[in-house]
A = this chain, B = another copy of it.
Amino acid sequence: MIQPRVLKGFRDSLPSQEIVKKQVIATLEEVFSSFGFVPIDTPVLEYTEVLLGKGGGETDKQIFHFVDNGGRDVAMRFDLTVPFARFMAGNLHKLPLPFKRYHIDKVWRGENPQKGRYREFYQCDFDIVGIDSAVADTEILLMMSDAFKAMGLSRFTIHLAHRGLLNAFLNHIDCGDHAVEILRIVDKLRKIGEQAVKNQLIEIIGSDEAAAAILNYITPKEGESTTQTIERLSELAGNEEEHTKRLKEIFALLNSLGIASNFILDPSITRGLDYYTGVVFETFLTDLPSIGSVCSGGRYNDLASLYTKEELPGVGSSIGLDRLLSALEELDASLAHSASSSDILILFLDETLLPLYLKTAQTLRESGVRCDLFLSDKKLMAQYKYGEAHEIPYALFVKGEDDFTLRNLEQRSDHELSLKEIVAQVKGTL
């Protein structure tokens, strides 16, 4: 006998979890499709060299890679961004630009598993590539907003900043050489606090004054309007014009759509990665700030420079699906409570009525009612228990050709109804 164990950092998805996950993904896909975004898929395995590019470094130890039977060094994808860049470079001639894509699937990393962190997990990415404009930036932000609303999470704030403007500011105060380290430190503000950030900045830059200037730049001012903040930041960056204009355009569009209240200009947002060059953003749930950003991204000016000379500017965002699923559960969102496998359980009481049970199930299914048939004539209590275990709201007694009793399993109430009434009852209350 072999012990049916799973690997450390991996897990099965039971039906109650899988149903919720599928519904969340379907909800997201519906929003993405409503914006004309299209799905793509890429192989789980790729050449290690293609995925890792020149610099392996940190990532190298975390990825699952091996030599296959053909002697090729191959790796399992560790994110959906690198395969997307490779995909764009390899299929450019087949794709009309600008290209709006989404990709929701598993990725693998050999990190040490911690609470809520697994070696197999989901990413959900969406991007617009082939264009650099305020309306593209806004469309990504609008789609994020619609996605959270569609999931029943309407209490969220998307924090926005502009990486180009921050870089201009750092150059203006002669800190441009340390930009990468500074961004990494500032990115930790929420975690380690203002004082620690200041100390670390001083250590890097060697100047109290510059550190104070940076803290001043990234700290929101009470009572300031968004326009005033943009003007102030622009001034601090030496009257920067290009990025300032973009920020203004984005906020003007958000305002015209009547959704600006879900957005806040927050100059402390930097997104650690070198990659970003324009607007950057993070999303926080009002009722669950502690879990951190549930959807982050930004604008980059060249997606696939590793693989092609074609310049592909873009803007994209990524939802941490596993984190989102915990949030939905913790916030008791209705999406997290829709794990029923069926609408109706047809009870099995008399073997001679089997053809009628199957026929009734068939008719109900044709009316769009999900219908499970209990498969043996066990005691009624066992059949109810099965229904409850699957969170099925109704049980149906089929007693004759036109003789039905519908039982509400939660309320334990019985009603004699026609098939047509049963369909209405089930659909009306769902």
Whether A49 contacts B341 by the Cβ 8 Å rule is no
**Which residues of the other chain, B, contact A371 by a CB distance below 8 angstroms?**
34-36
* A90 on the B face (CB < 8 A): yes
- Residue in B33, B43, B49 whose beta carbon sits within 8 Å of that of A370 in the complex: B33
**Which residues of the other chain, B, contact A372 by a CB distance below 8 angstroms?**
35-36, 100
* A196 on the B face (CB < 8 A): no
Q: What is the interface size of chain A, counting residues whose CB is below 8 A from a CB of the partner?
A: 104
* A301 on the B face (CB < 8 A): no
Oligomer copy total: 2
Stretch at the interface among A10-18, A153-161, A238-246, A274-282: A10-18
Per the 8 Å Cβ criterion, residues 317-338 of A in contact with B are none
* A115 on the B face (CB < 8 A): no
Stretch at the interface among A64-72, A177-185, A202-210: A64-72
Complex: A13 Cα to B72 Cα, angstroms: 22
CB distance from A29 to the nearest CB of B (A): 8
CB distance from A295 to the nearest CB of B (A): 19
Whether B94 contacts A14 by the Cβ 8 Å rule is yes
* A123 on the B face (CB < 8 A): no
Whether A6 contacts B43 by the Cβ 8 Å rule is yes
**Which residues of the other chain, B, contact A46 by a CB distance below 8 angstroms?**
6-7, 10
**Which residues of the other chain, B, contact A49 by a CB distance below 8 angstroms?**
2
- Residue in B18, B67, B138, B355 whose beta carbon sits within 8 Å of that of A38 in the complex: B18
**Which residues of the other chain, B, contact A413 by a CB distance below 8 angstroms?**
none
* A390 on the B face (CB < 8 A): yes
Q: Which 4 residue pairs are nearest across A and B when measured between Cβ atoms?
A: A36-B372, A66-B66, A256-B355, A15-B38
Besides A33-B342, A139-B358, A253-B354, 20 more A-B contacts (Cβ < 8 Å) are A2-B50, A4-B90, A5-B90, A6-B46, A6-B47, A12-B41, A13-B42, A14-B40, A14-B91, A22-B39, A33-B341, A35-B373, A36-B345, A36-B371, A66-B67, A96-B385, A96-B386, A135-B375, A256-B355, A257-B362
